[in-house]
A and B are shown apart, each in its own frame.
Chain A
Amino acid sequence: MFYREAGDFKTSYAEDNQTFPIKFDRYRYWFVLAVAFLVIPFIINDYWANAIFVPFLIYSIAAIGLNILTGYCGQVSLGTGGFMAVGAYACYKLMTAFPEVNILIHIILSGGITAVVGAAFGLPSLRIKGFYLAVATLAAQFFLIWLFNKVAWFYNYSASGQISAPERFVGGIAVTGPNTEAWAKYMVCLVFVTLCGLAARNLTRGTTGRKWMAIRDMDIAAEIIGVNPLKAKLTAFAVSSFFVGIAGALFFAVYLGAVEGGEAFGIQKSFLVLFMVIIGGLGSIFGSFAGAAFLVVLPVALKMIGVDLLGWPTDIVSHFQLVVVGALIMFFLIKEPHGLAQLWRVIKEKLRLWPFPH
């Protein structure tokens, strides 16, 4: 009844091409943005920021990044953790080398540095595909972490090998360091998520995205119709790594404040982001958000239910969490192989017909 194309007349090409052609979707989108920007910052506290919102927003950026590479361009990557580490260490080096430059610029530059590194590791993708490429990116993961652990220059020769973010301000308000207010952390991440989401959505709708999808669907056919695989694959790697690098920089500077390369950006991080993309839905921006929300919120919710509500021992809950998350992943992949995004699409189809399904 509310969710329909009928009656929503488009009078220009721009209107016809907009991201949300259905009025209800547009309103929902503006509503979500309004709540995110105008309501949540005023009610958020440390716990909600650090346990749920900030990790959710950061993982969303990482998931969007991986989704561009894997979901849109079809190149499987297991190097996400390593690329996040590049973003984090780049951010650390920039923050300490140029303390007078704004931290937001540093975060964007870290994304740029990661894009260069990502493109370099993307070169083998021109020759190898599928599982073999996955192994090559796995090598990137291990090599990068090893490098950051081995070369003391990356962590400014600190005794522990940890990198920790010094305090930095945006417009006089601390956004990194221990005195950061919950809302400031949240807002920085939110701004980056919004910009990244917009950029990713519009990239994937345009020529670039169509080239990626052509490569994903059949690279030989794509080449025959004039898509340059070198350019398409390398741009996918670069753009994807750019997002992942920004996520890594935020993860280090804003969220945790101090990280240890091997522990924070290990192989399990790569898998986590990959699971987010798979559960959320390959080739969908909404899916990246849904997957990130699912895997960030679920463990916290399970812990709250198990420990705080039911009073179970913490180790049982912790083991149970693995069982439940694992079972849910299997359930989703069997019942809905295209992820949460597909579920959303089905709901939207049903909504179009509701309440008269015939």
Chain B
Amino acid sequence: MKMKNLAAVAVAATLGAAPVMADLVIPDLSYRTGPYAAGGTPFSDGYQDYFNMLNARDGGIGGEAVRVLECETGYNTEKGVECYEATKGEGALIYQPLSTGITYQLIPKATADGIPIHTMGYGRTSAANGEVFNWTFNYPANYWDAASVMVNYLLDENEGSLEGKNIALLFHNSAYGKEPIRTLETLAEKHGFTFTQLAVDHPGQEQKSQWLRIRRERPDYILMWGWGVMNQVAIQEAVNIGYPMDQFIGNWWSGAEHDVTPAGAGADGYLSLNMNRIGDLPVFEDIKTLVHDAGNTAGDGSNFGNVLYTRGMYAAMLGAEAIAKAQEIHGVADVTAAMVRDGMEALDITDARMEELGMAGVGPAFSVSCQDHGGSGLGIVQQWNASEGKFVALTDYIAPDDSVTLPLIMEDSAAFAAENNIEPGCL
């Protein structure tokens, strides 16, 4: 009986929840619960707030209102699939799962369904090869770029030579954390440093043995591919063993305020990458007045303007620009997912356009093409200033070593194409 009632309610709910509306549907596969919520929440806040701001200020994109569908995944693949299936029927235009695991899950599904995925700085790196991954985009940068940018930064610090240095990678033992290994191995060979791998299992609270090893071996630099609670624990452990913070570099998912604040003053000087600039942008004014003051915030508003909030907003901006581009190409306001894909492939983000949008220099200028879905791959290095409680950009945009990453991307995407009988080519 119980089951029947539940099923009846479920039927009623799906029937009730599928109204046909002519607006731009953007699913937000967020996670505000679980061990990764600390990172998922601000990103989702920024993502939604930007679209809400567009709705309030411009009446959406090209006059068409945006409807954000939030779905909680908890960074869990099964729930992510459920969210994808639940939202795709509503006319979803673009997916931003903010999880490498879910991205791997969605790449084949979304390709079959004809819905573009934008995995900004995460996901499958070789998706940068647009001829194989027609529906997947990972501009403006990817993990292999990140690894290469880190090494380039270290080369700069060491007068161009890393010969004999010992560099350790502390990584989340998942598809996400394993991504940079291949690049770092190649770079280790090229630059002659020793490369050590230290895996941390999900969710990342247990790192004693890894840090014991670090204390014993004292690597010259530690690179970190962490997310969620793993970052906080790692930085605290580094403080505990007195590891010099300016030799500890996180990637762009390991460098937000909530990662460093628990370690207090000890975390001062911690380095991390960032793919977008932080700081006060004019667009925040609009979000503040039109969204926050109107009581329309996603979340509680406490993350406003922090690193991941800004990145979420940046991701939303890239999505909105792609939709605007699609409207321009196809001459209709009510675009479909396939048109948005065309818009993404023709995307051209210039400095002038970013200034116009009130976020001058938030990211590097880049353009996307059929062959290159990966963007420029530039990243900055930022440093935590504990006394002021904010990250400060330490460098300008650093370019990755394309001569290393490009062959790897080609190799990996060719393997994927062969495995899945894909004939590389443009749509």
Contacts and interface: CB of A to CB of B under 8 A. Distances in A.
B32 A309 contact: no
Interface string A175-191: 00111000000000000
B6 A315 contact: no
B89 interface: yes
A160 B225 CA distance: 13
Given A47-B86, A55-B78, A298 B6 contact: yes
Contacts of A50: 81-82, 85
A159 interface: yes
B33 A319 contact: yes
B145 interface: no
A180 B223 CA distance: 40
A319 B3 CA distance: 22
Interface string A238-258: 000000000000000000111
A46 interface: yes
Contacts of A263: 76-77, 101, 174, 202
A142 B104 CA distance: 24
Contacts, number: 128
B109 A160 contact: no
Interface in B63-98: 70-72, 74, 76-78, 81-82, 85-86, 88-89
A344 B32 CA distance: 38
B179 interface: yes
Which of A294, A301, A317 counts the most B-chain CB atoms under 10 A from its CB? A301
Given A256-B78, A256-B105, A309 B16 contact: yes
Contact of A47 (B7, B14, B30, B101): B14
Contact of B72 (A259, A266, A305, A317): A317
A162 B175 contact: yes
A260 B85 contact: no
Contact of B9 (A161, A290, A301, A318): A301
Nearest to A314: B72
B108 A258 contact: yes
B127 to A, nearest CB: 12
A315 B73 CA distance: 10
Nearest to A257: B108
Contacts of B82: 50-51, 300
Contacts of B10: 52, 297, 300-301, 304
A167 interface: yes
Contacts of A262: 173-174, 201-202
B3 A260 contact: no
Given A304-B10, A308-B16, A309-B16, A47 B3 contact: no
B85 A159 contact: no
Interface residues of B, number: 51
Nearest to A177: B108
B420 A160 contact: no
Contacts of A326: none
B158 interface: no
B71 A314 contact: yes
Contacts of B125: 159
B175 A161 contact: yes
B406 interface: no
Contacts of A162: 101, 104, 175
Interface string A40-51: 000001110011
A303 B82 CA distance: 11
A166 interface: yes
A63 interface: no
Interface in B3-51: 3, 6-7, 9-10, 13-14, 16-17, 30, 32-33, 37, 41
B266 to A, nearest CB: 30
B419 interface: yes
B13 A304 contact: yes
A164 interface: yes
Given A159-B412, A162-B175, A47 B89 contact: yes
A301 B6 contact: yes
Nearest to B298: A313
Interface in B412-427: 412, 419-421
A159 B181 contact: yes
Q: What interface size band does chain A fall in?
A: 35 or more
Contacts of B373: none
Contacts of B88: 46
Contacts of A319: 33
Nearest to A322: B33
B14 A166 contact: no
A149 interface: yes
Contacts of B390: none
B420 A167 contact: yes
B178 interface: yes
B277 interface: no
A36 to B, nearest CB: 14
Given A161-B178, A263-B77, A309-B17, A178 B85 contact: no
Contacts of B86: 47, 51
**Among the interface residues B13, B77, B421, which one has the most CB atoms of the partner chain A within 10 A?**
B13
B112 interface: yes
Contacts of B70: 307, 313-314
A257 to B, nearest CB: 6
A84 interface: no
A297 B85 contact: no
B33 A257 contact: no
B72 A318 contact: yes
Given A160-B179, A304-B9, A309-B16, A264 B202 contact: no
B112 A260 contact: no
A60 B421 CA distance: 33
Contacts of A52: 10
A293 interface: yes
Nearest to B82: A51
B104 A178 contact: no
Contacts of A304: 9-10, 13-14, 17
Contacts of B81: 50-51, 256
A16 B215 CA distance: 72
Interface string A301-340: 1011101110001110111000000000000000000000
13 contacts: A46-B89, A50-B82, A52-B10, A159-B412, A160-B175, A161-B174, A258-B108, A290-B3, A298-B6, A300-B10, A305-B9, A315-B37, A319-B33
Interface of A: 45-47, 50-52, 55, 149, 159-162, 164, 166-167, 177-179, 256-260, 262-264, 266, 290, 293-294, 297-298, 300-301, 303-305, 307-309, 313-315, 317-319
Given A50-B85, A177-B420, 17 more contacts: A46-B85, A47-B86, A50-B82, A159-B125, A160-B178, A162-B104, A178-B111, A256-B78, A256-B105, A260-B175, A263-B174, A266-B202, A297-B6, A304-B9, A313-B70, A314-B71, A315-B37
10 interchain residue pairs of minimum CB distance? A315-B32, A178-B108, A304-B13, A160-B175, A314-B72, A308-B17, A178-B112, A318-B33, A47-B85, A318-B72
